[in-house]
Amino acid sequence: MDDSLRAVVARKAIDVTGIVQGVGFRPFVYRLAQQCRLTGFIANTPAGVTIEVQGEPDHLDRFLQRLPAEIPPLARITALLPRDAETQSESAFRIVASHLDAPPKALISPDVAVCDDCLREMRDPRDRRFRYPFINCTNCGPRFTIIRDIPYDRARTSMASFKMCPACQAEYDDPANRRFHAQPNACWDCGPQLRFLSADGSLHDVAEPLREAARLLENHGILAVKGLGGFHLACNARSDSAVATLRERKRRVEKPFAIMLRRIEDLDRFCQADDSARQLLLSIERPIVLLPRKPDSGLAESIAPRNRFLGVFLPYTPLHHLLFSSGKFDALVMTSANLSEEPIALDNDEAARRLQGIADAYLVHNRDILRRCDDSVIRLAAGRTQILRRSRGFVPVPVPLERESQPILAVGGELKNTICIVRGSEAFLSQHIGDLENLESYNFFEEAVQHLQYILEVQPKIIAYDLHPDYFSTKWALDRQAGDIRLIGVQHHHAHVASCMAENHLDGKVIGFALDGTGYGTDQAVWGGEVLVADYHDFERAAHFEYIALPGGAAAIHEPWRVALSYLLKHYVKDLDILDLPFLRSIDDRRRQVIQQMIDRQIHSPRTSSCGRLFDAVAALTGIRSTVNYEAQAAIELEMAAYESTDEGAYPLELIPDGTRWQIGTYPLFQAILGDLRQQKPVSDISRRFHAGLATTFVDLAQKIREQTQLNRVCLSGGCFHNILLFRLLLDGLRAQSFEVYFHSEVPAGDGGISLGQAMIAAHRCELR
């Protein structure tokens, strides 16, 4: 060729970091380079991938434009840095072997839903994977839950024991194939297989385990199904008897169950949903989405008693799709296979042991689950998604931070525990671990700490923990006290506020509303209705609910009537009898005396400013609920009652100056509630006025604090913001007064989010020295 006709050639080297391994990134770059007529190579590096491309400048530009715009569905780029490089003599684009010498820092992908291409093949009778329950490709399937070690390749996953057949191996080796380096690649000939086990865990040898499982579900049975991150218990959601049996056997009296729908087209039958809800349900994370339920949907009554929301999700593994393929049912209850508040069951033996007497049969397989991971739970509010439980599909995707910090481990709280590791400018929250008070969860906690440190390749020397001396996570942290380990105790509500600040990338001081059930205060009282002026270093308590006695401590959490009585005793002392309340008549004299004595003599009656307990008290007083079967049940049912009302009133509360802060006084609130009860006002109106009264008072308070501090940013955090009515009323009220309001979206507002706040506070406190 004449040299004058040959175009100028340039070369670029590009380092890409993020989730770019095990997600089809290299074949994608390979195809893109070919389409742009470039030579060069791509290789995995410890931090991600490195690409070198060479060709005409126009073609290089096109490549650099298309690269970030067209990445595969599971890939996420955190940084992409092109620089000029020396041209080479080469004739093709190649995928070269990984460099494994340096410590890996690449991110691991979460588990994601089966893709449409795989589903199409699974449903095609001519395809070699027709009805294969473990079909996957680089764009879909298990990741986080099958990883034993890093870097991510088959030998370091629970697929290591399955040797690929020649057909699968050929796909795996072909850069142009959708299964190029798809580590869990498998088929009928070489991959995992299903088994059907009887109630006692013994193998029930049937030709088609799936058909047997579907038949059991049709016949109102309860099936344990091995999934991605653990076992589910499944039953037909339209069968009253099956759902009732499941509740009885699982000892889960009333806590709502989520249901899996056969297909998105059926959604309208069960729920009110708009396009954003649909998109969320269909997203690759396939979370459980809370949506307003429709009456008369034909679902079993006991799925979500007295709750206007329904948790729904769609099939996310090929196995789920196949279970529904009999067409005999359109909705299944799918609930973590555990007794209440224990972690999700993991392996076949453990499941058979723990689910004895609960499941009628088991649909299992021989691919090990190495990491537990529950389903994530999301809702839509104020135009944003709000994660209530962050697990499958989201873990281990990091939350980006504003600044770099040294490695930190934050061990979270006691209930709904998660842990968090900060590495560089990213915060990695663990999956939902659960309530640490039971042994299974505690073991899971230790395992999660180990595993997260391991896959992130950090050994943090700073450990942040909650101040509560009896939390298992706190004790665990304090046991690590040795040598160069630095321990940093963080107040619970400060952590809530810092968590909200972190995900909204705020710095400096804010007004923080931290409203929840329980958190250990610096004065050793049980805090929970707190307004803080806070930054990442420290906080001042600007306001809180006035203290009341919590007779029986934790027992009062299960028995809201105790809290209601405590409020009445505080406000009416000896005049209780002239109140003539149905609530008081429901408590026998002896119990009343016991509670009164506990409070008078300060026996096992800690002081509390809890907002959650105030909800409990109002729920008990109005006859909604005097004891609960699951956490926050009274508050949830009180909220549900408010939706039946259009009343526009708001109960008064008082702001009592107390030195430099305020106490939120509840006497006028109780006066007003008792007045309405005497007039036999509907409970729904009382609940509505209570919610509106709280919101109005909090807005007043925020204005008073703004006058003092000139702060205009307000953060909303704490489990009470799972109450969507309180959240909306307060958000609207604050915005009407021109506050900038920040709330949770990526991490839970409840205690599942505090590990992030702990980590942020520890990071800033360490920076000072």
CB of 140 or CB of 380, closer to Zn ion: 140
CB of 547 or CB of 670, closer to Zn ion: 547
> Which DSSP helix (H) or strand (E) runs through 400?
strand 399-410
| DSSP state for residue 612 in the 8-state scheme | H
CB of 139 or CB of 666, closer to Zn ion: 139
Closest CA to 763 of 356, 379, 409, 287: 409
Instruction: Locate 642 and state its tokens.
Output: 């408010």
**β-bridge partners, 195:** 364
CA distances from 762 to 316, 498, 756 (A): 38, 11, 10
**Shortest approach of Zn ion to residue 72 CB, angstroms?**
11
**Shortest approach of Zn ion to residue 687 CB, angstroms?**
23
Sign of CA dihedral 596, 597, 601, 606: negative
CB of 137 or CB of 260, closer to Zn ion: 137
CB of 12 or CB of 416, closer to Zn ion: 416
Instruction: Locate 381 and state its tokens.
Output: 């509010």
CB of 153 or CB of 631, closer to Zn ion: 631
CB of 677 or CB of 749, closer to Zn ion: 749
Q: Which residues of 461-488 are buried (b: 16+ CB within 10 A; e: fewer)?
A: ebbbbbbbeebbbbebbeeeeeeeebeb
**Shortest approach of Zn ion to residue 510 CB, angstroms?**
17
**Shortest approach of Zn ion to residue 28 CB, angstroms?**
14
**Shortest approach of Zn ion to residue 158 CB, angstroms?**
16
**Shortest approach of Zn ion to residue 117 CB, angstroms?**
5
| DSSP state for residue 97 in the 8-state scheme | P
**Shortest approach of Zn ion to residue 413 CB, angstroms?**
6
CB of 285 or CB of 516, closer to Zn ion: 516
Q: What is the 3-state secondary structure (H, E, C) of 120-172?
A: HHHCCCCCCCCCCCCCCECCEECCHHHECCCCCCHHHECCCCCCCCHHHHHHH
**Shortest approach of Zn ion to residue 516 CB, angstroms?**
4
**Shortest approach of Zn ion to residue 711 CB, angstroms?**
22
DSSP secondary structure of 234-250 = EEETT-HHHHHHHHHHH
**Shortest approach of Zn ion to residue 469 CB, angstroms?**
16
CB of 185 or CB of 622, closer to Zn ion: 185
β-strands 93-95, 39-45 pairing: parallel
Instruction: Locate 48 and state its tokens.
Output: 């991600």
β-strands 39-45, 462-466 pairing: unpaired
CB of 189 or CB of 402, closer to Zn ion: 189
CB of 40 or CB of 529, closer to Zn ion: 529
Report the alpha-carbon distance of residue 219 to residue 319 in Å, rounded. Answer: 19
CB of 126 or CB of 769, closer to Zn ion: 126
> Which DSSP helix (H) or strand (E) runs through 729?
helix 724-736
Helical ranges in 154-228 per DSSP H? 166-173, 209-218
CB of 168 or CB of 214, closer to Zn ion: 168
CB of 639 or CB of 751, closer to Zn ion: 751
CB of 187 or CB of 726, closer to Zn ion: 187
Instruction: Locate 650 and state its tokens.
Output: 């708001």
Type of residue found at 107: L
Sequence-ordered list of residues with C-beta below 8 angstroms from that of 526, at least 6 positions apart, any chain: 518, 519, 520, 550, 606, 607, 608, 609, 610
Closest CA to 82 of 63, 108, 58: 63
CB of 50 or CB of 325, closer to Zn ion: 325
CB of 72 or CB of 305, closer to Zn ion: 72
Sign of CA dihedral 421, 426, 430, 432: positive
**Shortest approach of Zn ion to residue 340 CB, angstroms?**
20
- By CB atoms closer than 10 A (0-12, 13-18, 19+), residue 643 is middle
Angle at 479 between CA 473 and CA 485, to 5 degrees: 100
Residue 578 φ/ψ, nearest 5 degrees: -75, -5
DSSP secondary structure of 642-674 = HTT---------EEEEETTEEEEE-HHHHHHHH
**Shortest approach of Zn ion to residue 405 CB, angstroms?**
23
3-state secondary structure of 312: strand
Report the alpha-carbon distance of residue 555 to residue 676 in Å, rounded. Answer: 29
Measured from the Cβ of residue 627, the count of other Cβ atoms closer than 10 Å reads 12
481 close to 734: Cβ distance less than 8 angstroms: no
Sign of CA dihedral 755, 761, 762, 767: positive
Q: Which residues of 103-126 are buried (b: 16+ CB within 10 A; e: fewer)?
A: ebbbbbbbbbbbbeebbebbeeee
Report the alpha-carbon distance of residue 140 to residue 167 in Å, rounded. Answer: 19
Q: What is the contact surface with Zn ion in residues (CB under 5 A)? A: 115, 118, 137, 139-140, 165, 168, 187, 189-190, 516, 519, 751
**Shortest approach of Zn ion to residue 476 CB, angstroms?**
18
CB of 7 or CB of 282, closer to Zn ion: 282
